[in-house]
Amino acid sequence: MLLNFSRIISSKLLQVEDLFNLEQIGRYFGGAYTLSPDGKMLAHVVQRAKATTKNHKQVFL
């Protein structure tokens, strides 16, 4: 992974919207990468937050 450190250093503080841009690679399914059973393909998992426009409300009685 390549990082642009000059952008990180000069960037603004972390905002709530920034959390939707975070990604994790390979946290689940046993590791970052896995080979297909025949060994011809390599797979990886990318997990990211899903931005929705739904409002979640709870009613308390």
Q: Write down the pTM of the prediction.
A: 0.32
Predicted local distance difference test score (pLDDT) of residue 33: 73
Reading the chain (61 residues) residue by residue, the pLDDT tens digits are 555 655 655 556 777 777 677 766 655 556 667 777 888 887 776 666 666 666 655 555 5
Predicted local distance difference test score (pLDDT) of residue 3: 58
Give residues with Cβ within 8 angstroms of 10, minimum separation 6.
Answer: none
CA proximity to 46, closest of 19, 28, 20? 28
Check: CB of residue 25 under 8 Å from CB of residue 32: yes
Q: Is the dihedral of CA 9, 14, 17, 19 positive or negative?
A: positive
Beta bridge partners of 33: 44
Predicted local distance difference test score (pLDDT) of residue 25: 62
